[in-house]
Amino acid sequence: MRKLASLTIVLPFFNDAETVALQINDAYSYGKLIAHKLRVIALHGGPSQDSTLTEIIRQKKSHPDLKIIDKKNNTEGYAVIKYGLAAATTDWVFYTDGDRQYHLSDLAKLVKKQNETGADVVNGYKAYRRDGFVRTVLGEGYRRLTCLLYQLPIHDLDCDFRLIKTRLLKKIILQSHNGAILPEMIKKLEWAGASFAEISVKHYPRIYGRSNYSPVALTIELIKGNFVMFFRLRAYRYCISLLINFLTVIAFFVLVLNVFSLHLYFSNQQIPSLSQTNVQFSYRVSRIVDVWRSSKNLKPYTIDQSLCDIALHRLNNFRKNDLFQLLYLRDDDLKGDTYDAISPRLTTPQQVLDYWLGQKNFFERLKTNFKFSCIKCTDLNCVQVVGNF
């Protein structure tokens, strides 16, 4: 087996005090066997009711280079993993849950599979699921129907045992605030050109505590999250066939909830409003800007989540006109000048770039050697935010 040049292992913990030391020690033990350079990140993913955070901090004594990210005020559920993934700076990033239902001894299988296939993403799949009956039934139904709905390149979305090439992960922006982050991440990686491979891994019974979600609560969150993500990722592709698939998913979960006498609870759930951000168009504009910068011997931008938050804020404050705006930030206080102009309705990424290049202030800043950037677009507006930190 050929070792990876560098690897970051991300371990999210929430009410997992008894498994913290085991998972972190295994991360260092097995990680050093499959990577020349290793970094471990312990992510505290919520207001744990036990001593999870204390145990994580205690591990700094044994592993001084352990990076700790504390999100004790997390309100995004499992989507908190995006903060751990965003902190990875190595060639590869791997993540798995801190509850020890997967053992890091299987990580070598993923690396070996990557050696054999050259895949950009290697995903584990459970050889046998070690959960209770209700969770197993709901999980299997969710797995099958989500793969059908999103036409995913893997067949076990619910197996959180993944090795991902960091370069591709940096190309995408994860927007979900719940469990829908998993199909969003896999689908966006596919759109970014990632190749996928899968290999069987063992799934073990929980040895401490219990899941932070009841089966029904998890089902409700996944229905809501996937409803939003369906329109964000797929509304402009295969609309008719995907809508039928989505209705099939809803029908399945309604049936399951009726079986468990919870249809009344389900019917009272509120459907969140839809984002108007055009994810694919934003990605295409980002790509064509990077191609133009490469032609000027400038490095492609690195996507920065803080700049994306600013861009989204700007978009939310725009009026519905044909304004394409380019916003640049100084690196000292993250406040800067705004350059904008009214333009005809632009329909292609090339037109957006050409319009920006045609504006003197835009052109001078577009060719400047900023390192970080984020572009967000709706059907009418595009905003780019850049900066150096």
- What average pLDDT values come out for the chain (389 residues) when binned by 10 residues? 96 94 96 97 94 96 96 90 96 95 96 97 88 66 69 88 96 86 90 95 83 54 58 54 68 69 44 54 85 83 81 65 46 39 58 76 64 79 76
Kindly tell me the number of DSSP H helices and DSSP E strands found in the chain.
14, 12
Residue 299 is assigned to a structural domain of this protein: yes
What are the backbone dihedrals phi and psi of residue 27, each rounded to the nearest 5 degrees, phi first?
Answer: -60, -45
Please say which residue of 179, 194, 213 terminates a domain: 213
| CATH code assigned at 70 | 3.90.550.10
* CB 164 within 8 Å of CB 121: yes
Q: Look at residue 368 in the predicted model and tell me its pLDDT.
A: 66
- Give the Cα separation of 231 and 225 in Å (integer): 10
Q: Look at residue 219 in the predicted model and tell me its pLDDT.
A: 55
Whether residues 92 and 188 share a domain: the answer is: yes
Structure tokens at 308: 């994306």
Q: Look at residue 344 in the predicted model and tell me its pLDDT.
A: 44
Residue 273 is assigned to a structural domain of this protein: no
Residue 123 is assigned to a structural domain of this protein: yes
Domain residues for 236? 217-267
- Give the Cα separation of 184 and 230 in Å (integer): 9
The distance between the two most distant Cα atoms of the chain, rounded to a whole number of Å, is 64
Query: How far is Cα of residue 316 from the mean position of the Cα atoms in its chain?
Result: 22
* CB 85 within 8 Å of CB 173: no
* Residue 39: strand pairing partners: 8
Whether residues 255 and 353 share a domain: the answer is: no
* Helical axes 239-259 vs 215-234, angle rounded to 10°: 170
Whether residues 128 and 263 share a domain: the answer is: no
Give, rounded to a whole angstrom, the gap between the first and last alpha carbons of the chain: 38
Whether residues 152 and 257 share a domain: the answer is: no
Handedness of CA 59, 61, 63, 67 (dihedral sign): positive
- Give the Cα separation of 52 and 54 in Å (integer): 5
Strands (E), 101-160: 121-126
Q: For strand 302-303 and strand 372-377, is the pairing parallel, antiparallel, or unpaired?
A: parallel
Q: Which residues, 6+ apart, have CB-to-CB distance to 113 below 8 Å?
A: 119, 122, 197, 198, 199
Whether residues 247 and 290 share a domain: the answer is: no
Q: Which residues, 6+ apart, have CB-to-CB distance to 14 below 8 Å?
A: 44, 45, 46, 48, 52, 98, 212
Instruction: Please state, in angstroms and as integers, the Cα–Cα distance from residue 249 to each residue in 141, 188, 239, 334, following that order.
Output: 9, 21, 15, 44
Strands (E), the chain: 4-13, 35-44, 67-70, 92-96, 121-126, 161-165, 196-201, 302-303, 323-328, 338-342, 372-377, 382-387
Q: Look at residue 199 in the predicted model and tell me its pLDDT.
A: 96
Q: Look at residue 266 in the predicted model and tell me its pLDDT.
A: 41
* Residue 376: strand pairing partners: 383
Residue 272 is assigned to a structural domain of this protein: no
- Give the Cα separation of 230 and 240 in Å (integer): 12
Residue 293 is assigned to a structural domain of this protein: yes
